[in-house]
Structures are given as structure tokens and as C-alpha cells.
Structure 1
Amino acid sequence: MEQDVVDRAVTGDEHAFAELVEPYRRELRVHCYRMLGSLTDAEDVLQETLLAAWRGLAGFERRASVRAWLYRIATNRCLNAMRDAKRRTPPEPVPPFQPPEPSRRSEITWLQPYPDALLAGIADAAPEPAARYQTMEAVELAFVSALQRMPPRQAATLVLRDVLGFTADEVAEMLATTPTAVKGALQRARAALQADTRTPRPEPEKERDLGRRFAEAFTSADIDGVIALLTDDAWLSMPPAPHEYHGTAAIAAFLRVSFTHRSDLRVRLVPTKANGQPAYGVYLGEPGSPAGLFVLTMAGDRIHHIARFHTDALFPRFGLPVTLSGTPRPGVRTARRRGRFLR
């Protein structure tokens, strides 16, 4: 059946081409996101991939499956994009107050969250037998961030082999290299991931409770309440700002400055899901204006990482309204508190 669709698509039948690639669109977008760390870039590269596939369909030799052929195009488009410094480096926001000296300045400022709604259908599919990671764990922020710190071809090899389950020969074909080179790159990538291991996440009910308590403490400007929920080695990041605050003392110092920046400002947190993790859209003022999106990484019975993404334009992708006013909907945490986070 697929070969018949390919035959019709090769003749220029656009409907046949759409039928051919549509089953892979969602998983290709997730693949591009893992490689690039940015939903915006992933969607751009996905369109480039599909256009390249349409233009190159006549050269499809059918030695590999359509899926493998599309992944080869997508992976190489991602590798090209990763060489583009303009695509990778968003402008650094200017804080409205003088923040404390950060513990570190991250080089990975292009990272964006990924809506769970876009994982529907993919997350439920069984991974290939050779895959080491489930879909949901392979889209968590810690995993995607670790990929961004690897050399690009090393990251590509890890994703293609351990997440998607392609064979070493298939990956060698996609990357125009040898199975021996694939094996070496995979070993180095796995070693790098082992260095980033952390405590397993809590059960879903416990995770939801931690998220709820964080939202209550944050909207109440309760610094001690927030800190009590964190691991000793917790850290705070704010892409695309490079500032990182590591350890509870550094996080508390930042929150203290942030919470005192403005007085009598209404703050509401609306729950959503990102990267398979608890997330909250932040709204400031009345009516509420988007002011970033929290994604919480849990470890054991505490929060290990607070990521505050300044990606207000992406709110609709997470099912979040562009403004918030009137009576809070169920699950919304609201309070009048002092201050705001870095915008």
C-alpha cells in the first residue's frame, strides 16, 4: 500500500505525498525538538524537511523505509541548523531590576518547553525493540538539555539509536559515516548521559502535590515555602536569559530581589504540562498578562530544577489564554504579592 502511495507521489500527486508523510509529522517534530532544543526551530526545520522530501522524492531509492528516509532528511537539516549561530542565539532579555550575581551563565539559552499536547499518539506508541528510552523520558528537560551539550553528531547518534531504535547500519547511512564510527559516538554519548543521572521522579500523585505546593508558595511570595520544596542542589534557570542560580541560598537570594521589585501585583499560575512534567503559565496584573512559563523537574520527593521560560508567544500552544481576567478557573493559584521574575 505504501509503495502505491509513493508511486503516485513521485508523479507529482500532492495528496499522495501528504498521505505518505502525515503519519510521521508529529514524531519528526519531536525528533527535531530533541536535536535543537527549541519548539520554534523544530517547526521551522520540520517544514524544511517536508519541502526537501517533496523536492527529492524522485531520488528516493526505496532501499530504506519512508520513515528512515524522512529521519535522514530531518536529522541532516537539524545538523545544518545547529551550525547556524543566528538561529541558535536569541537576544538576551534585559531585567527590570538588578539581579544577584548568577552562580553560572548558561550557554544553552535557546532551550524552549515542549507542549504535552503535541506528544499525543507518540507517547503511547511502543518504542522500537532496540530503543533504550521511552518517549516521555526522552523529552524531559534534563534529557533534552544533555543533548544540547553534546557534539551535534554525537547527539544525533544517541537519539537515532537509543530513542528511535534504528540499527547501527541505518544510522551510518543517515549520517554518511560507518557503523564503527556510529558505535564510537554512541559510547561517548551514553557516557555523557550517565554523568547527568539524577534521582528518579516521584509518583504522579506526589508530583502533582509538589507542583500545587510550589504554586501556592510562589503566588504568596513565600520564599521559605518555596525553598522547603527544593533539593539541596536545586537550581533555577530562565531561558533565554543565561542566568542560573545553583543551591537554595542562591535561589532564595534571587527570589528575594524579585519579590521586592514590585508591590501589590496580582500573580496567578495556571497549570499545564510541558515535556511530560508539571508546568504553570504565569500571569501578572489585572487583566493577567503572560509572564513566563514554569517547568518543574522533580527528584525524589523534592523539586530539583525550576525552569522559568520567557516564551509568552508560545502560551496558546500549551492551551493557555493570552490574557487572564475574572474568576480564576479550577486549578489556578492566585495571590497579590510583591515582585516579579526576570522578564
Structure 2
Amino acid sequence: MSDFVELTEPHRRELYHHCYRMLGSAAEAEDLVQETYLRAWRAYAAFEGRSSVRTWLYRIATRACLDALDGRGRRALPSGLGGPSDADGLDGLGTPLGEPVWLQPVPTGGELGDPAAVALLRARTRLALITALHTLSARERAAVILRDALGWSAAEVAEALSTSVAAVNSALQRARARLAAGPSEDEVVEPDDPAAGAALDRYMTALRTADLDGLVGLLRDDVVLEMPPVPTWFSGRDKVVAFLEGRICRPMGWRLERTEANGHPAAAAWMADEDGVLRPHGVHTLTVTRTGIARITVFRAPDLLERFGFTP
């Protein structure tokens, strides 16, 4: 048992991202990694080495996630729960919905060191992919992550899920068909691309200076704006601008700092209250393409700032 930490600890970070893809929650992913290591510690004496420690840990983590998800509804973004608002500049946005409803963002920067590992992490945690994964059942989600993201054989997936190869192949067929019907990410610009950095800088400047025209110039005609935990969302530049004009573009109302979330350029945000005091607001995530910003996802959760490495 003395070598348990030495053998298992190098896999903690990737297990966290695996649990995040399964759960859609950064906080829950941390809890499930702890549960995974507790289960692994208890079972380590019986580990016979018939698979690698990494594969063994992934099996335990997957089972822990499936247990946690049993009987629970899926997480989503507002655009996955209903149609966009027809109103221009709503006076009320509806009652914020609490947990466990919303997908949460995670930081995806250079903490892994290896550029190839960073690129892979970005691709596997894109908001569009995480959103699409959470339209699947928990077992379909597990099957497609283990088979397509980790490269396991159908037999290995079947063993991890305590089911048959035929059942795994059936689940994979359904899951892949649904994922293929989702939006394409081919046009998305990587966060370290100069175009993404320029778009983020212009976005933050437009908010800080209440430059509505500057903001309009960044947006695609089909831009989407959503702001979990508020269920209301907007589609199309005219609707988005009409909303932003009266609510977000306020001189000296923002402090914004660069960051990265789910493989997208993002801004950690503080917003001034009526007394001019800056309060933690959340994380603004931008989906940037060569033709402009396609989506703005404002995660309105003050506690996210600490998770992204900022003091509140």
C-alpha cells in the first residue's frame, strides 16, 4: 500500500477532467475525484495489475460518476432548455434557476505544461461538446467518452460499465448520431490565436467604456447570448444588442481580466453596484470565429473567480 500515492497521484488532473465531462460541474468533479481515490485506496490491496493503474482508476471514476448521476436530471445551458426570448431589452429576465441545473465552466490554460496536452484538453472541454454530451444519458456519455476520447476497446468499455459489448455498441451508435447532429466547431478560433486575443481585448474594452458600437462590430449576425443561472437567452445580433444596451454597457462599471474557460477566451468579471463598489460577477466566455463572436456565455456565479485563480 505504500506505493499507492506514487502510482495514482500522477493521474489526478486527467481524472478531474474526466469527471467534469461526465458531471458538467467543476465542484462535483472535485468531489468525485476524491471519491475515486477513496474507492481506489480501499480496493488497492486486491488490484492484480491486469490493467494499467490509469485504466483501473478510470473504471473506478466512471462508476463513481454513474452512481452520482443515478436518477438525476441533466445539466444544460439556457439555450438547451427552451427557445430564445422574443423581447427586446427585457425588464425582467425570469427567476434564476438553482442547482443542479447548469453546466459550469472550467479553466483550461497552460497548467498542464505540454502544449499538445493543453490542445487536447481544450478540444475535449469545449462548451459545445460538453453541452452535447449532456444531451446523452449518463451511460451513453460514459461509453462515448471512454471509447472515442480515451480510445478504449468496446470490450474494455463494456467491462467498465458492467454490460455487454453489444449494449456498448448500441449506446455508441445512438450517442454518435446525436453528437453528429450538433453544431460544428470547425470555425472556432483557438484561445491562443491572435484573432481570439484581439476579440477578447475589444470585448473587454467595449464593456469598460460602454462602447456599444464597438461591441456591435464584434458580433456575428447569428450571435447567441446566455447567462446562467438566468433561463432567458437571446439569439441574433439585434436582440443581443437591445439587451446589452441598457444593462451591460455602463461607463466605469466593470473590471475585467483575461482568462480561459473550456478552450475559449474568457474574462473574469467584477461589476459595480449602485454605490460604485466592484462586486464579483462571474466569467464571460466567448466563442470566437473568423467572422466574429458567435456566442457569449456569461456564467453569473461570483464563486467562479476563485476557481479561476482570482481573489474575490
TM-score, normalisation: structure 2: 0.83
Whether contact under 8 Å (2:26, 2:104) holds in the other structure is yes
Whether contact under 8 Å (1:168, 1:179) holds in the other structure is yes
Secondary structure of the equivalent of 1:311? coil
2:278 and 2:285 mapped to 1: Cα distance?
19
- After superposition, give the CA deviation of every residue in 1:34-80 in whole Å (9 maximum; x if it has no partner): 11111101001111111111112233243222111111111111112
Corresponding residue of 1:98: 91
Are 1:320 and 2:310 an aligned pair?
yes
Secondary structure of the equivalent of 2:121? coil
Corresponding residue of 1:251: 240
* TM-superposed deviation, 1:86: 9.3
Secondary structure of the equivalent of 1:282? strand
1:115 and 1:125 mapped to 2: Cα distance?
14
Whether contact under 8 Å (1:202, 1:300) holds in the other structure is yes
Are 1:276 and 2:263 an aligned pair?
yes
Rg larger in structure: 1
* TM-superposed deviation, 1:310: 2.0
Whether contact under 8 Å (1:109, 1:242) holds in the other structure is no
Higher deviation after alignment, 133-142 or 306-315: 133-142
Corresponding residue of 2:279: 289
Whether contact under 8 Å (2:282, 2:304) holds in the other structure is no
Are 1:207 and 2:196 an aligned pair?
yes
Are 1:66 and 2:59 an aligned pair?
no
2:22 and 2:110 mapped to 1: Cα distance?
16
Are 1:25 and 2:17 an aligned pair?
no
Q: How many positions carry a matched residue from both structures?
A: 292
Are 1:110 and 2:102 an aligned pair?
yes
One-letter amino acid of the counterpart of residue 163, structure 1: A
Q: 1:108 to 1:147 in 2, by over 3 A?
A: farther
RMSD: 2.9
Corresponding residue of 1:4: none
* TM-superposed deviation, 1:218: 2.0
- After superposition, give the CA deviation of every residue in 1:164-203 in whole Å (9 maximum; x if it has no partner): 1111111111011122222222222222222223242236
Are 1:120 and 2:120 an aligned pair?
no
Whether contact under 8 Å (1:267, 1:283) holds in the other structure is yes
1:293 and 1:47 mapped to 2: Cα distance?
26
Whether contact under 8 Å (2:269, 2:283) holds in the other structure is yes
2:105 and 2:73 mapped to 1: Cα distance?
20
Aligned equivalent of 1:238, options 227, 234, 241 = 227
1:152 and 1:273 mapped to 2: Cα distance?
27
Q: 1:109 to 1:39 in 2, by over 3 A?
A: same
Aligned equivalent of 2:133, options 147, 150, 168 = 147
* TM-superposed deviation, 1:233: 2.1
Are 1:163 and 2:155 an aligned pair?
no
Whether contact under 8 Å (2:154, 2:169) holds in the other structure is yes
Corresponding residue of 1:307: 297
- After superposition, give the CA deviation of every residue in 1:100-139 in whole Å (9 maximum; x if it has no partner): 579xx9998421111125851576349xxxxxx9332111
1:51 and 1:295 mapped to 2: Cα distance?
34
Whether contact under 8 Å (1:32, 1:42) holds in the other structure is yes
Q: How does 1:45-56 map to 2 (within 5 A)?
A: 45-56=32-43
Show structure 1 runs of 5+ residues with no match: 1-8, 90-96, 127-132, 323-343
One-letter amino acid of the counterpart of residue 120, structure 1: L
Q: 1:282 to 1:307 in 2, by over 3 A?
A: same
Q: 1:109 to 1:119 in 2, by over 3 A?
A: farther
Corresponding residue of 2:214: 225
1:122 and 1:108 mapped to 2: Cα distance?
33
Whether contact under 8 Å (1:53, 1:70) holds in the other structure is yes
Show structure 2 runs of 5+ residues with no match: 77-89
* TM-superposed deviation, 1:88: 6.3
Corresponding residue of 2:170: 184
Q: 1:156 to 1:206 in 2, by over 3 A?
A: same
1:86 and 1:280 mapped to 2: Cα distance?
29
Whether contact under 8 Å (1:237, 1:308) holds in the other structure is yes
1:33 and 1:224 mapped to 2: Cα distance?
37
- After superposition, give the CA deviation of every residue in 1:5-62 in whole Å (9 maximum; x if it has no partner): xxxx1xxx3xx21112101100000000111111101001111111111112233243
TM-score, normalisation: structure 1: 0.76
2:239 and 2:98 mapped to 1: Cα distance?
15
1:158 and 1:150 mapped to 2: Cα distance?
10
